Chains A and B, each alone.
Chain A
Amino acid sequence: KNEVEQSPQNLTAQEGEFITINCSYSVGISALHWLQQHPGGGIVSLFMLSSGKKKHGRLIATINIQEKHSSLHITASHPRDSAVYICAVSRTGNQFYFGTGTSLTVIP
């Protein structure tokens, strides 16, 4: 069983739709990360959170520590949001565990 599970694996949305990607984890963590990978392959960090909620522009990330669950929301989705979104958790030391990613396509 993977330490980090994401759903859905693939997601297609119409431009303007509200999008939610879910992440569950099974280990104790120091922080949870949401990453974005564009078709070229490079990965950028969107959020790191250990409690509550963070917002950056149209992106919102929430985490429920008790339930070991996090969600990434995208409001007013746009075709430029099309990418793979990866949930990862960090633990003490050098340990990072990564989900398999959610491939999002936003259609104009």
Chain B
Amino acid sequence: DGGITQSPKYLFRKEGQNVTLSCEQNLNHDAMYWYRQDPGQGLRLIYYSQIVNDFQKGDIAEGYSVSREKKESFPLTVTSAQKNPTAFYLCASRPTGGAASGANVLTFGAGSRLTVL
């Protein structure tokens, strides 16, 4: 079955450590996204990528980095520069064709919950 796999589901980090969250999709989608979800807030965009080897900052990119070396993979690194990294992180993807291809519909992974100790 096609879908998005995020790992790990739960992650604990000590202050000052970098951690990398994995996101893999087998949907052949061009665009991939990382969102952060905090209680009482809507999803906020961290980074997005429309094609391999290209990505753009979202609204809250500071303290995060990404790479897009393969179409299927869009890992997110939470660096020590992110002052409040405890949150739920969601990866999503969508095709970039016309409306008939479902280009407006995001498919989400199951999420990764990061806790800083």
Binding site for B on A (CB under 8 A): 2, 4, 30-31, 33, 35, 40-45, 48, 86, 88, 90, 94, 96-101
Contacts and interface: CB of A to CB of B under 8 A. Distances in A.
Top 10 A-B pairs, shortest CB-CB distance: A98-B42, A41-B111, A42-B110, A43-B108, A98-B43, A31-B104, A100-B42, A90-B104, A94-B48, A48-B105
A45 B43 contact: no
Contacts of B109: 42
A33 to B, nearest CB: 7
Contacts, number: 51
A96 B77 CA distance: 22
Contacts of B35: 98
Interface residues of B, number: 23
Contacts of B31: 94
B50 interface: yes
Q: How would you classify the secondary structure of chain B's contact residues: helix, strand, loop or mixed?
A: strand
A90 B33 CA distance: 14
A100 B111 contact: no
Contact of B111 (A4, A31, A42, A94): A42
Q: How would you classify the secondary structure of chain A's contact residues: helix, strand, loop or mixed?
A: strand
23 contacts: A2-B42, A33-B106, A35-B108, A40-B111, A41-B88, A41-B90, A41-B110, A42-B108, A43-B92, A45-B105, A45-B106, A86-B42, A86-B43, A90-B104, A94-B33, A94-B48, A94-B50, A94-B56, A96-B45, A96-B106, A98-B35, A98-B43, A100-B41
B108 A99 contact: no
B29 interface: no
A94 B111 CA distance: 20
